Structure 1
Amino acid sequence: MKLIAPVPITDAVMGASSLEENDTDDAPLWTAGAKAAGDRVRRPNHRVYECVVPHNATSAAVDYPENNSTGESRKWIFVRPTNLYAAFDSAKRTASVANGEVLSWTLTPGVRVDSLSLFGVLASAVRVRVTVAGVIKYDRTQSLRLRNCRSWSEWFTKPIAFRSDVSFTDLPMYRDAIIEIIVSWPGNIPQVGEIQIGRYDYLGAVKWEPSIRTVDYSENEPDQWGTIEFRPGESVRVVEYDLFIRNEDVDEVVRLLTKAKSAPRAWLGSPKFGALNLFGFAQDFQLVVRSPAGSFVNLQIRELT
């Protein structure tokens, strides 16, 4: 089990991209002046807000949308992050959407990182390239195509499916690395829900028999004749793992898991089963120091949308 603690993506980290801040919303930068209901603006925090109460905004901080978007007397509501930063907002449901067949970012973390995970991906391939002082140190492409066919008939007729998550955990660790992320889908519009970049911590070995269940937020209500009306909602995974860890790592694992209960992380439970890799938080864990040979951890991870 690998746990990635993300590096915050700030203006200093963000470099060139195929996206612009204002790709998907007609949202100019906020300025003081008259605001009408329905007006959308964006702020330096890379968020888009919509005016709900007409007013004349001054340049005072109390009139900034981010300071006036909660409570009963709010004048603004938060709509979404800007398209450029949507993939870095710790939520998969707000995706960065390409304006063509390719979606790309160039990041300079400024610290040593070795891992990169993408979640909620709609694309056919993801390429990661690491450059240091103009020299390419790493260049790897992963296809997201799934061809799980049981017969020749399925091979030729079954629609091609795609993985929605992909991870790279072997990036060379240079402090001055420039990391390019290139997401492509020929003939289609790719998008990415969440990107986590950082350095992974190894927690322990995942034992066989991890379990996966889903929590569905859809609403299905029958009427008086028994007809059911379906109102689709989000569905999230809750994955339960049993880990074997070294006794020497007990304190460190407890520290990492405690910290991960209050902030989302990338959890990589298996390189073979994609369903065991998810973006979420530690809902619960229990550690038992079983014997001098090692300890066991029961860990529940809840996916975030």
Structure 2
Amino acid sequence: MSTTALRVVRPVSITPAMLIGTGVPEADYGEWNASASYGVSDRVIVAATHKVYQSTVASNVGNDPTAVVAEPKWLEVGATNRWKAFDKSVSSQTVFPSNIWYSLRPGQAITSLGVLNIKGGTSMRVRMIDPTYGTVHDKTYNLASTPVSTGWWEWVFGERRTPTQVLITDLPSYPTAEIVIEIIGTTELAVGVILLGQMKQFTMGVLRGARVGIQDYSRKERNEFGDVLIVERAFAKRANFSMLMTSGEVDAFNDFLAEVRATPCLWIGSSKYESTTVYGFYKSFDIILNYTDYADSEIELEGLT
């Protein structure tokens, strides 16, 4: 399929201290108040944890949602809207009309950036601003829709497809730089994942015959009358790659996969197909030492929902 090496980005865990600024408010619900009484299914946020919690009992007074107790009175729903872009879930999206921007200072060198599951986006601008050298990167990436097929008729009348992700793997290395990400779009603008890290490359390329697909977690059942009942749920991307590598890469690749066995990473099989980009884990891998100077490798990837 490709002569491009397998590229892997191990994301930096974004902490509140790294967030310098954002245009997305953290006002999903009211802040939890120890003296207030909450009913069943009432929701609150706790700004200290950047999480949303839902009450599971009536007359819920004075019970801290973040406390670890034998019989919790609150259920953790998930990250607040501001932090959904960093919650390690592709399907949960930060939603804000027209303009979503974040300013981050990771405190380490960042060479790669991935923005996934974009909805309603038209463009994205990425700037890196170093305190000593000033702006060292400033580029705008187009998210305009393009025809699915080629030809003048398809260009004018055919179905069009809007990119849902932006992958940048050539950012300059400035450990103290501030990274500003600004996504412009429609009133339905949303983004699922923003991740930053350093990219590693392995193998001589992903071979032809790569397999991609999804694992659907929707429920599809028939009742006693034969009617189909469908409950739409999240899905996870999956992919299987076969690759060729030099013998000198074998140990480094094996050691890296051992290191990230419990860490979700961004796996990029080919820049030509969005479907070969998977944010998640590997389920299994094999390295076949069947040549003196080269080795075959196979890896199975499973994305996060």
Q: Please report the TM-score for the alignment, with normalisation by the length of structure 2.
A: 0.89
Q: Is the 8 A contact 1:46 1:81 kept in 2?
A: yes
Q: Residues 111 and 240 (structure 1 numbering): CA distance in 2 closer, same or farther, change over 3 Å?
A: same
Residue from 31, 48, 53 that aligns with 2:52: 48
> Quick check: 2:217–2:233 contact (8 Å CA) kept in 1?
yes
Q: Which residue of structure 2 aligns with residue 271 of structure 1?
A: 271
Aligned counterpart, 1:119: 116
> Which ranges in structure 2 are unaligned for 5 or more consecutive residues?
1-5
Q: 1:5 pairs with 10, 17, 21, which one?
A: 10
Compute the displacement of 1:225 (Å).
Answer: 4.9
- Superposed displacement of residue 290, structure 1: 2.4
Deviation at 1:233, TM superposition (A): 2.5
What's 1:76 paired with? Answer: 74
CA contact (8 A) 2:91 2:234 kept: no
Deviation at 1:215, TM superposition (A): 1.7
Mapped partners of 1:89, 1:171: distance in 2: 23
**Cα shift at 1:227:** 3.5
Name 1:172's counterpart in structure 2: 172
Q: Which of 35, 38, 42 pairs up with 2:37? A: 35
Q: Which letter maps to 1:126?
A: M
1:105 CA displacement: 0.5
8 Å CA contact 1:119, 1:278 repeated in 2: no
* Aligned: 1:14 with 2:8: no
The 1-side partners of 2:56 and 2:225 are apart by 40
CA offset at residue 230 of structure 1?
2.7
Alpha-carbon separation, structure 2, partners of 1:121 and 1:152: 27
Change (3 A) 1:247 1:287: same
- Letter of the aligned partner of 1:27 in structure 2? G
Deviation (angstroms), 1:125: 1.9
Which residue identity is paired with 1:8?
A: S
Amino acid at match of 1:207: L
* Residue of structure 1 in register with 2:187 after alignment: 188
The SS at the match of 1:184 is: strand
Check whether the contact 1:7–1:197 (CA below 8 A) recurs between aligned residues.
yes
Equivalent in the alignment of 1:90: 88
- What is the CA deviation profile of residues 101-153 of structure 1, one whole-angstrom value per residue up to 9, with x for unaligned ones? 11110111110110000111111222211111262211122223332333322
- Distance in 2 between the 1:42 and 1:146 partners? 42
* Residues 79-158 of structure 1 mapped to structure 2, 5 A cutoff: 79-98=77-96, 100-122=97-119, 123-133=121-131, 135-144=134-143, 145-158=145-158
Contact between 2:210 and 2:241, CA under 8 Å: does it hold in 1? yes
Q: Which segment drifts farther, 134-143 or 275-284?
A: 134-143
